[in-house]
Structure 1
Amino acid sequence: MPARGQSGRKLRLWSIRTSWSTVGDGEFFCPDCGGDRNYRRRTGRRRFALLGVPLLPRGFAGPVVECAACRTRFGTEVLDHPTTTRFSAMLRDAVHTVALAVLAAGGTSSRTVTLTAATIVRSAGYEDCTEEQLITLVEALAADTGRMPRAYGPAPSSGPCGVSLAIELHEALEPLAPHLAPAGRDSILLQGATIALADGPYIPAEREVLTTVGTALRLGADDTARLLAAARTPS
């Protein structure tokens, strides 16, 4: 039996205590909350404490990312994951870039092709996208005005059209690929294939663009070929 007045728990005379300081903040995707939350970026100082009184410094802790909602602390690598809002924008831009690349490779003379492309781009998030807008952007690219034009704002100059297309595709797809499930990567490639096939079989330029899309999405050559072949098969 513990002595009278004792709680039965051993009194801890010493411990290591950490004093945290906030050095930044922002918004991130919290794995524990499962959604976008505000965070505090924090660093800490460890001290040896005797009877709860901090005495001797014992080095530094962190930096860590602390969720403002659930208070869970994570390593700073958690900031590499895009927020839900950022991820949606990246996905939207990726589909838009793929659509423009396929149209630039296959041409815009077919109404079926441009209508298919505009429908896919609108479904990805550019709700006001029209066939005319896509055609204008592709014509600007064909006129060698620079890299593939953005939907908004000027585009910097670059080299030949084919190289420009590859650069744009890699820039739009490579940062997105690690955050996509396999089905998501397949879906982007298949959307590009749907546009290319709207007016008939792939032409070599379209297949080359779609192969580049597969590479940028971290799909193996065999997987890319399988998906492009599957897209040609009527359901």
Structure 2
Amino acid sequence: MCIWGVRIAWHTEGDGEFFCPGCGGDRNYRLRTGKSRLVVLGVPVLSRGPAGAVIECGVCERRFGPEALDEPTSSRFSAMLRDAVHTVALAVLTAGGAGSRHARETALEAVHDAGFSDCTEAQLVGLLAALAADEGRLPGAYDPLSGPLDGCGTWLSVELHEALAPLTRHLAPQGRERLLLQGAWIALADGPYLPAEREALAAVGRSLMLPAEDTERLLEAAARTPS
């Protein structure tokens, strides 16, 4: 018979959805906080203070630290990847490929593969025109179907950082390289890299936290690969 011991009384503070590292999938969770109590003969007699907070899976009932919520759910990860590909495609087209039908089609294919299946070429061109019309982000007038634009402006750095930085730490190195290569294939669809396209792709590499030498190696390899 256990005469004394320590028990934790758990209280549910909230709930939601998370990616359970135990189940390996998206699950409902309960955020629970606990208080330790000294128990004698089954009777709580003395509080021993808080026991901290845990994330309890609603399926396997395993408990994890609050950092488990930092991992995106599968649906959230898919959305982040979709937005990243879309932003990279727009950045490369803005830097010089928007006037090429082949480049636009290559960008549209990448966007579709990433999950934006209902995105049309007209919508893509409309977004480029909207970027050009935003005087706070792009300098001067720009026809998205007739001319390139400097690819290393402040707007590009901000947009790429916002789209890629949250995703980068959840991607394996091969995944980050794949994103850069998708941008490279769009840039190469209408011929060799333009200087602005090179700058845009370098900005993509920085946002993906790829070493500069790796970015250069990947861009050169893509340029040598027959389309």
TM (norm. structure 2) is: 0.91
Range 24-33 or range 52-61, more displaced: 52-61
Q: Is 1:168 matched with 2:159? A: yes
1:146 shift after superposition: 4.6
Q: 2:213 aligns with which of 191, 216, 222?
A: 222
Unaligned runs of 5+ in 1: 1-10, 149-159
**Paired positions, count:** 214
CA contact (8 A) 1:36 1:84 kept: yes
The aligned counterpart of 2:133 is 143
- 1:150-165 maps to which residues of 2 (within 5 A)? 162-165=153-156
**SS of 1:15's equivalent?**
strand
CA contact (8 A) 2:8 2:36 kept: yes
Closer/same/farther in 2, CA of residues 147 and 25 from structure 1, 3 Å limit? farther
CA contact (8 A) 1:141 1:161 kept: no
Q: 1:109 aligns with which of 99, 113, 122?
A: 99
Percent identity between matched residues is 63
Q: 2:182 aligns with which of 171, 179, 191?
A: 191
CA contact (8 A) 2:97 2:186 kept: no
Closer/same/farther in 2, CA of residues 161 and 206 from structure 1, 3 Å limit? closer
Unaligned runs of 5+ in 2: 139-150
CA contact (8 A) 2:152 2:203 kept: no
Query: How far apart, CA to CA, are the structure 1 residues paired with 2:194 and 2:119?
Result: 25
Query: How far apart, CA to CA, are the structure 2 residues paired with 1:145 and 1:195?
Result: 26
Query: How far apart, CA to CA, are the structure 2 residues paired with 1:145 and 1:176?
Result: 28
Q: Is 1:44 matched with 2:34? A: yes
The aligned counterpart of 1:5 is none
Query: How far apart, CA to CA, are the structure 2 residues paired with 1:42 and 1:59?
Result: 15
Closer/same/farther in 2, CA of residues 197 and 27 from structure 1, 3 Å limit? same
Q: Is 1:201 matched with 2:192? A: yes
- Amino acid of the structure 1 residue aligned with 2:170: H
1:52 shift after superposition: 2.0
Query: How far apart, CA to CA, are the structure 2 residues paired with 1:192 and 1:225?
Result: 13
1:41 shift after superposition: 0.3
Relative contact order higher in (CA < 8 Å, ≥ 6 apart) = 2
1:143 shift after superposition: 2.7
CA contact (8 A) 2:92 2:187 kept: yes
1:43 shift after superposition: 0.4
Query: How far apart, CA to CA, are the structure 2 residues paired with 1:53 and 1:116?
Result: 70
The aligned counterpart of 1:86 is 76
Closer/same/farther in 2, CA of residues 139 and 107 from structure 1, 3 Å limit? farther
**SS of 1:82's equivalent?**
coil
- Amino acid of the structure 2 residue aligned with 1:68: G
Query: How far apart, CA to CA, are the structure 2 residues paired with 1:234 and 1:45?
Result: 62
**SS of 2:119's equivalent?**
coil
- Computed over aligned residues only, the root mean square deviation of the Cα atoms, in angstroms, reads 1.5
Query: How far apart, CA to CA, are the structure 1 residues paired with 2:224 and 2:3?
Result: 74
The aligned counterpart of 2:61 is 71
Query: How far apart, CA to CA, are the structure 2 residues paired with 1:144 and 1:28?
Result: 37
Larger Rg: 1
Query: How far apart, CA to CA, are the structure 2 residues paired with 1:15 and 1:147?
Result: 64
Q: Which runs of 4+ in 1 moved over 4 A?
A: 145-148
The aligned counterpart of 2:147 is none
Q: Is 1:20 matched with 2:10? A: yes
1:139 shift after superposition: 1.7
**SS of 1:174's equivalent?**
helix
Query: How far apart, CA to CA, are the structure 2 residues paired with 1:145 and 1:115?
Result: 27
**SS of 1:202's equivalent?**
coil
Query: How far apart, CA to CA, are the structure 1 residues paired with 2:216 and 2:30?
Result: 45
